[in-house]
Amino acid sequence: MTRQPLTYTANALDRATQLRGDAAQVRALLTGGAARIVPVWNQRHLVDDTPRLQTLSFEAIAGAYDPGASTLVFLGLHNTTPWFALGLAHSEAPPPLNIPGAFTDLDYRALNEVVALLPGEDASILAYARAMILWHHNHRHCGRCGARTTITESGHSSTCINPACAHRTFPRTDPVVITLITRSDETRGEVCLLGRQAAWPAGMYSCIAGFVEPGETLEHAVRREAAEETGIIIGESAGDVRYVASQPWPFPASIMLGFRAVAISAAISRNDQELEDCRWFTKPELSAFGERNAAGPGFKLPNRYAIARLLIDGWLAE
């Protein structure tokens, strides 16, 4: 059976890295009449009521584009059409845009409000745009000398304006391992380990996840996070930690690295208290779970667009 692409992984853009350093050519692409510009305002995105991603022309954003307060990033090409992300200055109300009157049903919406309804390519482009704009928003000053930075390489780097420093930085993605841990129980059969954080919707459980720390492998991060959060020990044999898939996660700028792992212990101990609860579930128990946003009490699964759900559904289907 063919698996549908994970949400945020269907980006059809050619990133055209060879063009980023040619400011004149990128400017010509921006102003040449074919550019599609993705506006980002207060971390929200312009969509219609379908919902579908809406883009603007350079003429439409000209009045709102302030190079001193806005952030413009060249995203790449779709066939020969150039795409850009425009981070608009923070404001209480959306800036005025020169949009034709036919576009009256447009609104700025948070990505996680509409992602489940968006086509895959739309969601992926918005994730890309969101991550780039947020990175620039959070890196307005040099991490070495504290001076202001300026956008370089068409938005794909940031350079300190202090000539004695001139340090250049690049957008970063934070790796996160997210793991479905399983084991064979003598009385219950195959079980998987899921936990929940207190801030999640009541009853929702998900896979064990955590950031990769400097100097460790992904496999070590899987084992460390399992031990820290749940007290569960993962096996050291070949195949006890197995990579499955990855998913960009722009909240704010992570890459989720999905794994399956086999436990060699059963007793749960929430050592760092990051989880409110953690327990083993059988396949019949998981099959009775409701959806994340289902009303009423009971256990609930992660959103269908999250990689945690892919890992859980894959195990259930075995």
Q: Which residues of 87-112 are buried (b: 16+ CB within 10 A; e: fewer)?
A: bbeeeeebbebeeeeeeeebebbebe
| The pLDDT value given to residue 1 | 40
Angstrom distance (rounded) from CA 303 to CA 81: 33
How do residues 189-242 score in pLDDT, each as one tens digit?
999 999 999 999 999 999 999 999 999 999 999 999 999 999 999 999 989 999
Q: Element (H or E) spanning 59, and its range?
A: helix 58-61
| The pLDDT value given to residue 137 | 93
Using CA atoms, how far residue 199 sits from 130, 275, 291, in Å, is 23, 10, 17
CA dihedral 129, 132, 134, 137 (to 10 degrees): -130
State the first-to-last Cα distance of the chain, in angstroms, to the nearest integer: 12
pLDDT under 50: residue ranges of the chain: 1-2, 101-103
How do residues 134-159 score in pLDDT, each as one tens digit?
999 999 999 999 999 999 999 999 99
Tracing tokens 């396949």 back to the chain, one arrives at: 283
For β-strands 107-109 and 277-282, DSSP reports them as unpaired
| The pLDDT value given to residue 50 | 87
pTM of the entire predicted model: 0.91
